[in-house]
Amino acid sequence: MSKREGLMATIKEVAALAGVTPTTVSNVLRGRGRVGTETRERVLEAVAAKGYRPNLNARALVERRAPTLALMLGCITNPFYPEFTLQANNAARRHGRFLLVCNTDYEPDGGTGFLADVAGSLSDGILVANNGDLHIDELTAIQAAGTPVVISIWESPDISPGIPCVAFDSHKAGFIATEHLLDLGHHRIGALIGSAKNGIHGGRYRGFHDALRSRKVKHIQADARFVTDSYQGGFDAAVDLLKARPDLTALFVSNDLPALGALNAAATLGLRVPEDISIVSITNIELASQSRPALTTVAIPTAEMAEQSIDLLIKLGAGEMDVPAMIRTADPVLVRRASTAPVKK
């Protein structure tokens, strides 16, 4: 590979043009130190004339910190992530940082080397979007090596991963969603869970379970399906479940994406939503308001989690010691739309 010509102006050239030293140019550009008004003018002119921009790599090297933060997520193709990413990106930019968005799903070695490279020099902090498949030991090692790590979208406010994190109350989300169904008079409710029973959506499932129990409603294991957290996963499981248990009047789905699949599955089976079957889920991604019928769902504080995570990362990077080990975000709230209605049968 032939290296490209160095057509970029360096600080030296700018300094020469302005008749000062690199230090002064550096000071002017970063507002450090005291520089005479006139000198500053001259420097600024030279900078403009040369179209100079500092080499961020060189700066990172000497400052021992990169101007970037990394966001590790499974697959950007899951519609939840773009929404989260946008908020995280905006928050990072507000702090003058660039956000490195890292798709880890298709990394060959499971992303180990990838993560180490990104953490080691490419970025100044790692924001891990919890996908239920965290390698805590790796993250701990990275943290120990000096790079701040924050886990976001943590589902259990009462269990700590041992790494700074931003959590929401997933149990309450499941509880609220289920209460809504119960309030509408449903008591034959199926569940579609986008993980294993004790997987990432375990808290949501327990919320569902506890809501039923609090109203003395029976729930049999046959009415639950533990599936892939995807549109297709929801579709397939809904077809299966609705056929097997035709007496169900409502479905609790642990996530919007499979709920959208379930919505379509119901239509495919000739069931009207919400007349024949109500569907409620959790998250409130943008698509939830665009489906037909629009999806009733329990909104989790996505934007808040993204922002708090970035803020926390910045604080950790700045060496602040009084940072909380866990930030609990606002409670989830029910967003009533058109996919749920009072029970009829």
Partner DNA sequence: CTGTTAGCGCCTTCAC
Partner DNA sequence: GTGAAGGCGCTAACAG
Task: Report the interface residues with a second copy, using CB under 8 A.
Answer: 1-8, 51, 53-58, 60-61, 63-68, 75-77, 79, 81-83, 85-86, 89-90, 93, 98-103, 106-107, 116-118, 120-122, 141, 144-147, 231, 260-261, 263-264, 267, 286-287, 290, 292, 317-319
Residue 208 interacts with which of DNA, a second copy, none, CB < 5 to 8 Å by class = none
Beta bridge partners of 328: 167
CB closer to DNA, 36 vs 162: 36
126: helix, strand or coil: strand
Burial, 185: exposed, middle or buried (Cβ in 10 Å; 0-12, 13-18, 19+)? Answer: middle
Write out the two tokens for 73. Answer: 């997520």
Judged by CB under 7 A, the residue of 2, 4, 31, 62 near DNA is: 62
Dihedral pair phi/psi, residue 186, rounded to 5°: -75, 140
CB closer to a second copy, 123 vs 278: 123
Judged by CB under 7 A, the residue of 41, 48, 51, 63 near DNA is: 63
| Residues 295-314 interacting with DNA (rule: CB under 7 A) | none
Dihedral pair phi/psi, residue 328, rounded to 5°: -100, 125
CB of 61 to DNA, least distance (A): 4
In order of 66, 81, 148, 340, the CA distances from 62 in angstroms are: 10, 34, 19, 58
Provide the 10 A C-beta neighbour count for residue 12: 11
Judged by CB under 7 A, the residue of 4, 31, 64, 319 near DNA is: 64
In order of 4, 10, 61, the CA distances from 7 in angstroms are: 8, 9, 21
Alpha carbon 214 to chain centroid, angstroms: 31
CA angle 53–58–61, rounded 5-degree value:
145
Judged by CB under 7 A, the residue of 2, 16, 47, 54 near DNA is: 54
Task: Kindly give, in sequence order, each residue whose CB lies less than 8 Å from that of residue 25, ignoring residues fewer than 6 positions away.
Answer: 11, 14, 15, 18, 43, 46, 47
Residue 85 interacts with which of a second copy, DNA, none, CB < 5 to 8 Å by class = a second copy
Residue type, 119: A
CB closer to a second copy, 182 vs 305: 305
Residue 24 interacts with which of a second copy, DNA, none, CB < 5 to 8 Å by class = DNA
Number of amino acids touching DNA (CB under 7 A): 32
Dihedral pair phi/psi, residue 299, rounded to 5°: -75, 130
Q: How many Å from the N-terminal Cα to the C-terminal Cα in the chain?
A: 72
CB closer to a second copy, 1 vs 220: 1
Closest CA to 337 of 269, 259, 247: 259
> What is the rounded CA–CA span in Å between residue 273 and residue 295?
10
Residue 140 interacts with which of DNA, a second copy, none, CB < 5 to 8 Å by class = none
CB closer to a second copy, 164 vs 317: 317
Residue 83 interacts with which of a second copy, DNA, none, CB < 5 to 8 Å by class = a second copy
CB of 274 to DNA, least distance (A): 59
Judged by CB under 7 A, the residue of 38, 109, 247, 322 near DNA is: 38
Asked if 67 is part of the footprint of DNA (rule: CB under 7 A), the reply reads no
Judged by CB under 7 A, the residue of 41, 48, 49, 61 near DNA is: 61
Asked if 21 is part of the footprint of DNA (rule: CB under 7 A), the reply reads yes
Contact 68, 98 (CB under 8 A): yes
Judged by CB under 7 A, the residue of 59, 95, 188, 337 near DNA is: 59
Alpha carbon 2 to chain centroid, angstroms: 39
Q: Point out which residues bind DNA (CB under 7 A).
A: 6, 8, 10-12, 19-24, 26-27, 29-30, 32-36, 38-40, 52, 54-55, 58-59, 61-64
